[in-house]
């Protein structure tokens, strides 16, 4: 892959959209509770890239499990459907700023943070 670093950011679905968000893509499997499609201001919903239900439930956003969650999730991202979804996000990131949207209370330890880390490498 050529072409410099990407600008991939993470924001919560409950945060207001900002002018510098670029393309906004929801990466959660489930739609954020209490958010209308209009308020979300999304350019896409890439639920195929989200972690498995089993991994998500095991992790339960426990900060002590984040490193292990990251490792397990990166393995899942090699599965064909998730790998294709990750390629799509990489293409979007190559076109300009990409903001990954999550409903997670702690966006910095969410699957969106793992994805941003991978895409910004």
pLDDT(1) > 60: no
State the residue range of the domain holding 78: 8-119
Residue at 2 is within a domain: no
Structural domain total, the chain: 1
Rounded distance between C-alpha atoms, residue 44 and residue 90, angstroms: 14
- Spell out where 1-121 has E strands: 8-12, 23-26, 44-45, 98-102
Q: Give the pLDDT of residue 58.
A: 98
Q: Is residue 61 part of a domain?
A: yes
pTM, rounded to two decimals: 0.93
- pLDDT grade, residue 112 (50/70/90)? very high
What pLDDT sits at residue 2?
45
Residue 3, pLDDT score: 53
Give the pLDDT score at 5: 79
Within-domain flag for 1: no
Is residue 3 a part of any domain in this protein? Answer: no
**Looking at residues 38-57, what average pLDDT do you find?**
96
On average, the pLDDT of the chain sits at 95
Residue with tokens 């190559």: 94
| Position 23 pLDDT exceeds 60 | yes
102 in any annotated domain: yes
């Amino acid at each position: 892959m050529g072409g410099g670093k990407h600008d991939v950011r993470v924001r919560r679905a409950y945060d207001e959209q900002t002018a510098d968000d670029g393309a906004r893509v929801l990466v959660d499997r489930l739609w954020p509770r209490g958010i209308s499609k209009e308020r979300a201001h999304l350019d896409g919903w890439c639920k195929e890239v989200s972690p498995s239900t089993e991994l998500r439930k095991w992790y339960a956003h426990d900060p002590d499990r984040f490193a292990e969650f990251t490792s397990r999730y990166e393995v899942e991202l090699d599965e064909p459907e998730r790998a294709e979804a990750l390629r799509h996000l990489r293409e979007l990131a190559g076109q300009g700023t990409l903001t990954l949207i999550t409903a997670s209370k702690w966006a910095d330890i969410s699957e969106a943070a793992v994805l941003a880390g991978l895409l910004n490498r």
